[in-house]
Chains A and B, each alone.
Chain A
Amino acid sequence: MNVLNILNEIEKVDGAVYERLSPRRAALKNFLGLGKKISLAALPLTLSGVFQKAYSQTTANGATVDSLNLLLTLGYMQFQFYNNVITTTPNLIPVADRPIINTLRDQEQAHINVLIKTITDLGGVPRAAMPYANFDYTKVNANVTTNYGTFLRTAVVLEDLGERAYKGQLISLMGTSALALVARVQTIEARHSAQLRQMVNKLQIATLKYMRPWVSIRRNDADGTDLLPITGNDSMIGTLNPVYDIDTGLLNRETKTIQAGIELIGINGNTNLTVGPASEAFDEYLLTATVKTAANLFIKAAFQLK
């Protein structure tokens, strides 16, 4: 086995490998010099230790902490929204729905707690708690504290944003201990959204009479047919496009029907797979920059994400 060959290969994917190792340059130099003396069997273990020290304490944890702090911000945003209605205007919620809103609030609180614990365990600093007053929940409609339909529609958007944000962080968390955590929260966010969307459907609000539990295309109120063009988003509010539409430089809007180069419309002769179900069948991620843009729609100017 050739150690320099390994370093060369690493350099191809990380040009900064030697800089990362540099605080330990003396150790590495010793290590390379020792190469001939130590047994071949012990070598991989030793080398692995050197790399773990160079990477896991700096780059890996730093990026993971950044990812988790972004998600923590969205957790605060969701929690404060539910907690506010429960504590200040509980009568806005029909009695039958209260256990549902309580579950949403409690599960967001649990996500905040587990994110803070994970960040702390990684040696990072969790973003400080953000109070209700830091947020602006009026993007669907200013009557969000007095109209239950507006309240539910706003919650849908917050959950969909959360889900897309979690999905977007998964890739950079691959190989880290936080991957499973983030994967298991993103499906909870999806459950929340599906429940809330269904509640919006029940209210039969104008323009949303065919709202689905899954993120879909827009439909005509009269008969549920596709409302063209399919671009735009099924919250029916253009201001909210950053939540559902195109990621920076990517075509991954929620209405997309092509996945990994494969068109789902009519796939393998299934002609009943039209644009609606084809776009619903896959949810889309949002990368960090777009998450911040979308999240800032709901955060007051002084507290926005940069």
Chain B
Amino acid sequence: MIESNSESLIEKDSFSVNLKRRQFLQFAGVSALAVGTIGCKKEKTDEIVAPYVNSDDTIDFKDDVGLLNYIYALEQLEAAFYTKAAESLPATFTPTQALFFNDIKLHEIAHREFFKRILSTAAIGTLTFDFSGVNFADAVSVFTTAKTFEDLGVAAYNDAIVRCKNDYNLILLSQVATVEARHAAYVRSQVDAIGFSDLNELAALGADATNALDVNLAAGKVLEQALKYIKTKLNIINL
């Protein structure tokens, strides 16, 4: 634990120079509103607020807590899917496919547990899912579903990176985004040998083939698709 604490401190220090400029830009702000509130807010002293306890699966997009809960919900979805698939992999899976699929499952579990830990009492609960549309005995069905989730995940992360307000969250989201992209490329290649970065096909998720920019989708659009698989009722506000 000592090592981990000092590590994050070092990381924070190293960003202080960049941070200063960025903090200032937030202060000076493109928005007049931001400037307006700073001038008033800083005259108050900080109040101690009791930790927020999320007891009704609320995803409130007003701040980064909501954004991370949204990401946490998507990670729960992915982890649940791979865990279910791993219970009995399709018979046609090669040893390498099984190995990589197991890796992905473990990454998604790591992501899920990480966000759960970060969010602490503010986290939504454990969600339940409906995978009745997936034929878990069929490799194509499994990989096609994995492809849907991974590309959707990349689209969600790329939007969340731009939306998040805290620089430390930006770093964390960017660290996971590329792992999801690696997953996406791999599972795509299992249904189309040259499809790892087919941005024309991914245009529906916001990809820009002309400039080779990856998928990018607002949370509302992502949730439209993800909620088809989530049975738990989520209280989504300020989207």
B211 in contact with A191 (CB, 8 Å): no
A183 in contact with B185 (CB, 8 Å): no
A residues 164-200 with Cβ under 8 Å of B?
A: 167, 170-172, 174-175, 179-181, 183-195, 198
- What string of 1s and 0s marks CB contacts (under 8 Å) between B127-167 and chain A? 00000000000000000000000000010011001100001
Q: Which of B50-58, B59-67, B100-108 contacts A (4 or more CB under 8 A)?
A: B100-108
Q: How far is the CB of B80 from chain A (nearest CB, A)?
A: 14
B100 in contact with A55 (CB, 8 Å): no
Q: What CA separation (Å) do A175 and B65 show in the bound complex?
A: 19
- What string of 1s and 0s marks CB contacts (under 8 Å) between A100-113 and chain B? 10010011101101
Q: Which of A111, A190, A272, A284 contacts B181 (CB 8 A)?
A: A190
What chain A residues lie within 8 Å of B231 (beta carbons)?
A: none
What chain B residues lie within 8 Å of A114 (beta carbons)?
A: 211-213
Q: Which of A130-138, A236-244, A263-271 contacts B (4 or more CB under 8 A)?
A: A263-271
What chain A residues lie within 8 Å of B183 (beta carbons)?
A: 194, 213-214
Q: What CA separation (Å) do A212 and B100 show in the bound complex?
A: 7
- Please tell me if B224 contacts chain A, counting CB pairs below 8 Å: no
- Please tell me if A261 contacts chain B, counting CB pairs below 8 Å: yes
- Please tell me if A125 contacts chain B, counting CB pairs below 8 Å: no
- What string of 1s and 0s marks CB contacts (under 8 Å) between A232-252 and chain B? 000000000000000101111
What chain B residues lie within 8 Å of A124 (beta carbons)?
A: none
- Please tell me if A3 contacts chain B, counting CB pairs below 8 Å: yes
Q: What CA separation (Å) do A3 and B43 show in the bound complex?
A: 12
Residue count of chain A within 8 Å CB distance of chain B? 89
B214 in contact with A191 (CB, 8 Å): yes
A195 in contact with B197 (CB, 8 Å): yes
- Please tell me if B117 contacts chain A, counting CB pairs below 8 Å: yes
Q: Which of B30, B35, B114, B116 contacts A6 (CB 8 A)?
A: B35
What chain B residues lie within 8 Å of A210 (beta carbons)?
A: 99
Q: Which of B22, B27, B110 contacts A281 (CB 8 A)?
A: B110
A174 in contact with B22 (CB, 8 Å): yes
What chain B residues lie within 8 Å of A96 (beta carbons)?
A: 193
A residues 252-306 with Cβ under 8 Å of B?
A: 252, 258-264, 267-268, 270, 272-273, 276-278, 280-285, 287
What chain B residues lie within 8 Å of A99 (beta carbons)?
A: 194
Q: Which of B116, B174, B185 contacts A191 (CB 8 A)?
A: B185
Q: What CA separation (Å) do A51 and B30 show in the bound complex?
A: 9
Given A184-B158, A267-B117: A174 in contact with B32 (beta carbons within 8 A): no
A213 in contact with B185 (CB, 8 Å): yes
When C-beta atoms are compared, the residue in chain A nearest to B27 turns out to be A10
- Please tell me if B228 contacts chain A, counting CB pairs below 8 Å: no
What chain A residues lie within 8 Å of B157 (beta carbons)?
A: 187
Q: What CA separation (Å) do A273 and B211 show in the bound complex?
A: 37
A180 in contact with B162 (CB, 8 Å): yes
Q: What CA separation (Å) do A17 and B167 show in the bound complex?
A: 22
A113 in contact with B118 (CB, 8 Å): no
Q: What CA separation (Å) do A27 and B144 show in the bound complex?
A: 61
Q: How far is the CB of B169 from chain A (nearest CB, A)?
A: 9
When C-beta atoms are compared, the residue in chain A nearest to B106 turns out to be A277
A100 in contact with B31 (CB, 8 Å): no
B171 in contact with A285 (CB, 8 Å): yes
Q: How far is the CB of A135 from chain B (nearest CB, A)?
A: 21
- What string of 1s and 0s marks CB contacts (under 8 Å) between A42-80 and chain B? 001101100110110001100100000000000000000
Known: A14-B21, A267-B114, A285-B175. 20 other contacts (CB 8 A): A1-B36, A3-B39, A13-B27, A48-B29, A48-B30, A51-B35, A52-B30, A55-B28, A172-B22, A187-B180, A188-B213, A191-B182, A191-B196, A191-B197, A194-B185, A249-B10, A249-B14, A258-B7, A260-B168, A261-B1
A–B complex contacts, Cβ < 8 Å, 11 sampled: A3-B39, A10-B24, A14-B20, A52-B28, A103-B197, A107-B212, A170-B170, A187-B158, A261-B5, A262-B117, A268-B113
